């Protein structure tokens, strides 16, 4: 898709259709000279509902390059999420009519966060996952061309380009999650990150099984040993042209399929475990947008990618392994595998002498129970970093909620034979005990952990179809911005 920011005369917008928001009185936003009266006639005739969500499709007046105008009633007290959903809904109406060249007018939208949300709504909703289907005629076409019309009161073109780049990264993360595990395995994830690294300006190094053995990543390897698919540690490195001097490491859990291992999952909750690489997908998605977003920080992405399967070579519940850090772990439940691969990746992260480490992981079902499908859990050993995540989430409508790393709960991870166990003796506080486990491997730096288990798949929404959400990418980019 061609993406353009246009700030010439309104009449010159070179698209088939233009989306213009209207307020609750039916008045179009911004300086759409000549259009207000045309719309006023409709408002008076009672044909155009003033309600939020009202759509009015009109033939563009003479003298305009565009052929059609779609007015969309944004309603009273619109928030950024209202704009995100509104832009998506308006675009859907156009795509359903077979229109593939669309412009969105930002004119008259005052706040930058509302403008941003409207742009995101356009890009995020222009998406479907059809590569595995031979028949796709039932779906509306994707846009060929998206134009954002801005005037002097709107944010600059460069900023608008950044917003679209970040939304594109979210779509890449979605794609990785949509693929089934027979296709999106550790090797494929590694290949994809190498390929995107070449086109998006970061370098990639893939650590193979023998290298992971040399590094003594016994915890990570204990998860992959039951699978015929070899493990990979995907190491991505972005070096900015004008560095800020700060180094961030993002770590993303990528269990390309989590059967539970010998602690096998029940049949009804297994299929969705193709999405257990959502943390890795978010980290790769972030890596793909850093250059285009002009990120001034060095960012290293570490994605341990494995498959968790039961077999004759699989880890047995009660096995003890030695992690790269030297700490020994009694694996009492092979389904608590995410923390095992993250443990070694977090140890590896220390070699970059990072200022901040943030991990993203579909870590616990307990997170879903506690917070439901729209809310991320965050915890960490450095409150200012956690605060930045909470605030960054608010900026982009990805809701994060802090859970406490309650020291006393470390009791629950005690083991009789090893330094500690990978699961607590009781189910209670499962997201917190998982966080406490990770904390033991993150002692050397300032760290936060985002449990994205609940948010990685969701029902369809105004700006995405059912399935992978690409969750986490927008927050991570907003967080990096807060350090600029
Ligand atoms: N990948 C799962 C967590 C998960 C559950 C992600 C639901 C997305 C949706 C994780 O590896 C897991 O199985 N965790 C166990 C931990 C338990 C054995 C302590 C869980 O949450 O049941
Ligand atoms: Zn599991
Ligand atoms: Zn898992």
Q: What tens digit of pLDDT does each residue of 129-165 get? A: 999 999 888 889 999 999 999 999 999 999 999 999 9
The answer, yes or no, to whether any atom of ligand 1 lies below 6 A from the CB of 175, is no
Q: Are 334 and 308 in contact (CB under 8 A)?
A: yes
**Pairwise CA distance, residues 474 & 29, whole Å:** 27
User: Given this model, what pLDDT does residue 32 score?
Assistant: 66
**Quick one: pLDDT band at residue 18, thresholds 50, 70, 90?**
very high
What pLDDT is recorded for position 362? Answer: 98
User: Ligand 1: which atom is nearest the Cα of residue 275?
Assistant: 8
The CA distance from 106 to 83, in Å, is 11
163: helix, strand or coil = helix
CA of 420 from ligand 3 middle (Å) equals 19
435 in Cβ contact with 462 (< 8 Å): no
Strand partners, 235: 205, 302
Ligand 3 centroid from CA 409, angstroms: 21
| DSSP assigned state of 408 | G
- Answer yes or no: are the C-beta atoms of 409 and 429 closer than 8 Å: yes
Task: Look at residue 34 and tell me whether its pLDDT is greater than 70.
Answer: no
Q: Provide the pLDDT for residue 99.
A: 97
Beta strands at 447-451 and 356-361: parallel, antiparallel or unpaired: parallel
SS3 content of the chain, % helix, strand, coil (to 5): 35, 20, 40
Q: Considering only the C-alpha atoms of the chain, give the largest distance between any 2 of them, rounded to a whole number of Å.
A: 81
Residue with tokens 């907003």: 478
- Pick from 269, 279, 334, 335 the residue to mutate for probing ligand 1's pocket: most ligand atoms within 8 Å of its CB: 335
In sequence order, what E strands does 49-181 have?
55-59, 68-73, 101-105, 145-149
Q: 197 is written with which tokens?
A: 């690294």
pLDDT of 281 reads 98
Average pLDDT over every residue of 358-374 = 96
* 332, 365, 370, best to mutate for ligand 1 pocket (most atoms within 8 Å of CB): 365
Residue 107: which of 9, 14, 40 has the closest Cα?
9
Using the CB atoms, write b or e for 387-425: b if 16+ within 10 Å. Answer: ebbbebbebbbbebeebebeeebbebbebeebbbbbbbe
pLDDT at 26: 81
DSSP letter assigned to residue 478: H
Q: How far apart are the CA of 80 and the centre of ligand 2, in A?
A: 35
- pLDDT > 70? residue 20: yes
Average pLDDT over residues 323-346: 98
Return the ligand 1 atom nearest residue 263 CA. Answer: 18
Model confidence band, residue 215 (pLDDT cutoffs 50, 70, 90)? very high
Catalytically active residues are 265, 339
Q: Which residues contact 322 (CB under 8 A, 6 or more apart)?
A: 216, 218, 219, 328, 329
Tens digits of residue pLDDT in 377-427? 999 999 999 999 999 999 999 999 999 999 999 999 999 999 999 999 999
């Amino acid at each position: 898709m061609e993406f353009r920011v246009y700030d010439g005369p309104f009449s010159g917008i070179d698209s088939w259709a233009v989306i213009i928001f209207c307020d609750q009185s039916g008045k179009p936003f911004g300086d759409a000279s000549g259009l207000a009266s045309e719309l006023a006639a409709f408002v008076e005739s009672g044909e155009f509902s003033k309600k939020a969500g009202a759509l009015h499709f009109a033939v563009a007046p003479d003298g305009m390059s565009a052929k059609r105008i779609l007015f969309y009633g944004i309603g009273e007290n619109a928030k950024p999420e209202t704009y995100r959903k509104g832009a998506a809904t308006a675009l859907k109406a156009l795509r359903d009519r077979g229109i593939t060249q669309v412009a969105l007018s930002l004119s008259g939208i005052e706040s930058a966060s509302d403008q941003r949300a409207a742009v995101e709504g356009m890009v995020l909703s222009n998406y479907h996952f059809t590569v595995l289907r031979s028949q796709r005629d039932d779906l509306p076409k994707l846009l060929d061309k998206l134009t954002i019309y801005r005037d002097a009161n709107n944010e600059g073109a460069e900023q608008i380009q950044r917003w679209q780049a970040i939304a594109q990264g979210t779509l890449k993360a979605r794609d990785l999650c949509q693929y089934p595990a027979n296709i999106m395995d550790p090797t494929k994830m590694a290949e994809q990150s190498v390929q995107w690294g070449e086109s998006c300006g970061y370098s990639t190094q893939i650590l193979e099984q023998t290298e992971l053995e040399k590094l003594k990543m016994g915890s990570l390897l204990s998860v992959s040993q039951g699978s015929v698919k070899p493990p990979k540690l995907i190491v991505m490195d972005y070096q900015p042209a004008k560095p800020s001097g700060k180094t961030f490491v993002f770590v993303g859990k990528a269990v390309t399929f989590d059967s539970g291992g010998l602690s096998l999952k029940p049949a009804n909750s297994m299929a969705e475990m193709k999405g257990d690489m959502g943390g890795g997908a978010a980290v790769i998605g972030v890596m793909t947008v850093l250059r285009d977003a002009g990120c001034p920080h060095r960012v290293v992405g570490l994605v341990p990618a494995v498959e968790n399967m039961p077999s004759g070579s699989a880890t047995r519940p009660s096995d003890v392994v030695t992690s790269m850090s030297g700490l020994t772990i009694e694996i009492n439940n092979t389904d608590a595998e995410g923390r095992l691969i993250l443990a070694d990746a977090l140890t590896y992260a220390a070699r970059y002498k990072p200022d901040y480490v943030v991990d993203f992981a579909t870590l616990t079902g307990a997170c879903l129970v506690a917070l439901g499908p729209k809310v991320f859990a965050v915890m960490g050993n450095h409150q200012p970093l956690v605060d930045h995540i909470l605030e960054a989430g608010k900026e982009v409508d990805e809701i994060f909620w802090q859970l406490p790393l309650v020291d006393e709960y470390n009791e629950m991870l005690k083991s009789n034979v090893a330094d500690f166990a990978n699961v607590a003796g009781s189910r209670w506080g499962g997201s917190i005990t998982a966080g406490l486990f990770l904390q033991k491997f993150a002692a050397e730096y300032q760290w936060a952990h985002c449990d994205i288990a609940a948010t990685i798949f969701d029902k369809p929404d105004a700006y995405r179809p059912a399935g992978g959400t690409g969750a986490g990418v927008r927050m991570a980019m907003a967080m990096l911005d807060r350090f600029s």
